[in-house]
Amino acid sequence: MPNTRTELSQLGEFGLIDKIKNIVKVQNKDTVLGIGDDAAVVQIPDNHLLLLSTDMMVEGIHFDLAYMPLKHLGFKAVATNVSDIAAMNGVPTQITVSLALSNRFSVEAIEELYQGIATACEMYKLDLVGGDTTASPKGLVISVSILGSALPQHIVKRNTAQKGDIVCVTGDLGAAYLGLQILRRENEVFKANPQMQPQLEDKDYVVGRQLKPIARMDIVHELAEIGVVPTSMIDISDGLASELMHICTQSGVGVQIYENKLPLDNRTLDAIVELNLSSATCMLHGGEDYELLFTIKQSDYEKIKNNAEITTIGFITEKEKGMLFITQSEQIVPLKAQGWVHF
Amino acid sequence: MPNTRTELSQLGEFGLIDKIKNIVKVQNKDTVLGIGDDAAVVQIPDNHLLLLSTDMMVEGIHFDLAYMPLKHLGFKAVATNVSDIAAMNGVPTQITVSLALSNRFSVEAIEELYQGIATACEMYKLDLVGGDTTASPKGLVISVSILGSALPQHIVKRNTAQKGDIVCVTGDLGAAYLGLQILRRENEVFKANPQMQPQLEDKDYVVGRQLKPIARMDIVHELAEIGVVPTSMIDISDGLASELMHICTQSGVGVQIYENKLPLDNRTLDAIVELNLSSATCMLHGGEDYELLFTIKQSDYEKIKNNAEITTIGFITEKEKGMLFITQSEQIVPLKAQGWVHF
């Protein structure tokens, strides 16, 4: 942590904009005009459609600064937006970042936040082209909007899954949720006894998945290389079950997925056992993995079957068959969603 | 006010999205895909560049719901963003709206907010194409991002004013600030004695300018019709002096403006007299008028001189002459900015 504390009121709005410009450099040739005017100016590549998404994160709802370092928060706020562009099979290009923050945040704290934003911008080749910084009576709110683009024939929606399609998921499931449980447990221990050191040594993986989620742009590029356009796609922010139900409801289809096919990392399993949780529940309902969930035509199966980052977990059925989860013991249970429980 | 109160938790995220879709209809042919997927899909007209801006409004900082009806708040949140696109000489096309709100807001309250958003969308021919709705521990935060477009040769920046250019402002100045002072006064009276009726009868104009600001898209269209591209432009959100200083600083020029030329509505003047304020201060520093401040080449003067909505208030000088305000009594005083005093 820096030793000095500068108040935002000392620096002023334009001092802050200058600092931000120094942290996040424009690198994209299609960014015609970045921060500093009434609006940013952007060139969309020939024949491409524009993609636009936005997400808001609120202190005390989406994050707790007791265990979420500001750098990671900045990174995560960008990565979750990139994930929305990835879920359309598009490439992200520019972001805007708006902050509402109380005067407990120093200039140094805001710089840390922007360093995380800059790291994500470099990783995903994004330009920060605008935003707004304002006071808040209490707490921190971060609102990111993202632009991306894609050729029309590459854009993948949620409502276009077809009966017979194969259901695929990237990476592994449940880790971010376990990371959150571990961070919360250690925070409680710390609050009870500030002398205690957090027990995070062997929890790097799950904690990292919570604090620094990676949007799967690698998969978007790989699908383009192998010539696969998914028939539908969504990213997993609220948990597998909830996202699968969006695809099925919007596409007017049913689905069957199999517990014994769901990808689970051993380190996630260790944490599940340690916390005495159900692995099926964690994989189905643990949110914030930001993996991609998509469906492909059966004829594309050969192209993806050897990809270690893609797991086939079931198939699309007709709507009347419902949305079903086949357990390890071959019980058939209807899928349930648990998303959006903030209110 | 509606008599029923529905909790957001009863309705759920998708119930809310359905309600929003019914309130705000897609009308723009370039909106390929609106609300309901991971990202919106938008077509940019041939040869046009994309414009992108964003603004955040925070309860207790930018508005007080004691005197700001939610419908007006929704309208204003959109209009202020439209104003940013107008200030680039562009045409707005789509918005996203993100809300963080505490559980004191009912579904009916959120519908009122969206009715104001819908009114602004109809007025400016905008589509609402996405957003995010989330809980907040306290208060309301509304973050709007806006897309627009313009031909490259029509885009007007802040940093391109030239020595000899004429400085123009649209409409009149200071009214929104006076409206705010009146609303605050009546709110104090009401808090002291809730039986008192607010004294707003002859204050419609200034109060309306505070609650329902109009982005000057009419001027953007008119400038296009008469074939004038300003040499620089900005919208007046923080007050004339502050915005003029942005143009001068970023363009590397000086300016002289004349108090006796600044446009003041008689109803604003009445309020200034009633509240015993300085008219120069109100015109120079009263923010939120959302008028356009722009510079034109002298050769374009003939084209704008008979437009009742455009007033010429001074001219651009070389940088060394400074940024000067010539008072009614012909005193020369340096301009000072008062913007961004939230922190």
Q: Is A93 helix (H, G, I), strand (E, B) or coil?
A: strand
Q: What is the CATH number of the domain that holds A229?
A: 3.90.650.10
Token pair, residue B136, equals 């907040």
Pairing, β B232-235 against β B332-334: unpaired
| Percent of chain A's residues with pLDDT above 90 | 83
- Let me know if residue A4 belongs to a domain: no
Q: How many CB atoms lie within 10 A of CB B173?
A: 27
- Let me know if residue A341 belongs to a domain: no
- Domain enclosing residue A250, as ranges: 166-334
C-alpha distance from B292 to closest chain A C-alpha (Å): 11
Which chain B residue is nearest to residue A232, measuring alpha carbons?
B37
The stretch B101-119 carries a mean pLDDT of 94
Q: What is the pLDDT of residue B9?
A: 83
Pick B42's closest partner by Cβ from A49, A98, A139: A49
Last residue of a domain, one of A128, A153, A178: A153
Domain count, chain A: 2
CB B254, CB B320: distance < 8 Å: yes
- Let me know if residue B233 belongs to a domain: yes
Interface of A with B in 174-203 (CB under 8 A): none
- Let me know if residue A183 belongs to a domain: yes
Q: Which helix (H) or strand (E) segment is B170 a member of?
A: strand B166-170
Q: Do B53 and A147 touch (CB under 8 A)?
A: no
Q: What is the CATH number of the domain that holds B70?
A: 3.30.1330.10
| Percent of chain B's residues with pLDDT above 70 | 97
Residues B83 and B139 placed together within one structural domain of the fold: yes
Pick B58's closest partner by Cβ from A43, A49, A135: A135
Residues B51 and B122 placed together within one structural domain of the fold: yes
Residues A181 and A149 placed together within one structural domain of the fold: no
Token pair, residue B118, equals 């819908």
Query: CA-based angle A96:A97:A98, to the nearest 5?
Result: 125
Pick B132's closest partner by Cβ from A13, A54, A250: A54
φ, ψ for residue A326, nearest 5 deg: -100, 115
Q: What is the pLDDT of residue A3?
A: 65
- Let me know if residue B112 belongs to a domain: yes
Q: What is the pLDDT of residue A339?
A: 53
- The upper half-sphere exposure of residue A40, i.e. CA atoms within 13 Å in the direction of its Cβ, equals 30
- Let me know if residue A2 belongs to a domain: no
The stretch B93-108 carries a mean pLDDT of 94
* Helical packing angle, A107-124 and A70-86, nearest 10°: 30
Q: Does A41 touch chain B (CB under 8 A)?
A: yes
Confidence of residue B1 (pLDDT cuts 50, 70, 90): very low
Q: What is the pLDDT of residue A309?
A: 97
Alpha-carbon gap, residue A107 to A291, rounded angstroms = 34
* Alpha-carbon separation of residue B49 from A26, A50, B218, B227 (angstroms): 17, 11, 21, 19
Alpha-carbon gap, residue B17 to B40, rounded angstroms = 14
Residues B175 and B99 placed together within one structural domain of the fold: no
Residues B255 and B149 placed together within one structural domain of the fold: no
Alpha-carbon gap, residue B202 to B269, rounded angstroms = 12
Pick B56's closest partner by Cβ from A143, A148, A159: A143
Query: CA-based angle B247:B250:B252, to the nearest 5?
Result: 95
φ, ψ for residue A315, nearest 5 deg: -150, 160
Residues A217 and A109 placed together within one structural domain of the fold: no
Q: What is the pLDDT of residue A7?
A: 87
Q: Report the DSSP beta bridge partners of residue A147.
A: A52, A94
Residues A241 and A115 placed together within one structural domain of the fold: no
Contacting residues of A for B44, CB less than 8 Å apart: 44, 50
Last residue of a domain, one of A153, A187, A216: A153
C-alpha distance from A130 to closest chain B C-alpha (Å): 7
* Alpha-carbon separation of residue B81 from A230, A235, A319, B205, B333 (angstroms): 36, 29, 42, 22, 33
C-alpha distance from B302 to closest chain A C-alpha (Å): 27
Residues A212 and A136 placed together within one structural domain of the fold: no
- Let me know if residue B1 belongs to a domain: no
Contacting residues of A for B233, CB less than 8 Å apart: 38
- Let me know if residue B159 belongs to a domain: no
Q: What is the pLDDT of residue A340?
A: 46
Last residue of a domain, one of A153, A188, A204: A153
Token pair, residue A319, equals 């709507």
Q: Do A40 and B32 touch (CB under 8 A)?
A: no
Residues B329 and B190 placed together within one structural domain of the fold: yes
Residues B23 and B140 placed together within one structural domain of the fold: yes
The list of chain A residues with pLDDT below 70 reads: 1-3, 339-343
Residues A112 and A211 placed together within one structural domain of the fold: no
The dihedral built from the CA positions of residue B79, B80, B82 and B88, taken in this order, carries a sign that is: positive
Burial class (CB in 10 A: 0-12, 13-18, 19+), A148: buried
Residues B209 and B282 placed together within one structural domain of the fold: yes
Alpha-carbon gap, residue A269 to A283, rounded angstroms = 10
pLDDT at B282 over 60: yes
DSSP line for B95-155: EEEEEEE-TTS-HHHHHHHHHHHHHHHHHHT-EEEEEEEEE-SSSEEEEEEEEEEE-GGG-
User: What's the ipTM?
Assistant: 0.93
Q: Is the pTM of this model over 0.90?
A: yes
pLDDT digits (tens, 9 = 90+) for A230-285: 999 999 999 999 999 999 999 999 999 999 999 999 999 999 999 999 999 999 99
Q: Do B40 and A53 touch (CB under 8 A)?
A: yes
The stretch B30-54 carries a mean pLDDT of 95
pLDDT digits (tens, 9 = 90+) for B298-342: 999 999 999 999 999 999 999 999 999 999 999 999 998 775 455
Token pair, residue B115, equals 């009715």
Q: What is the pLDDT of residue B41?
A: 97
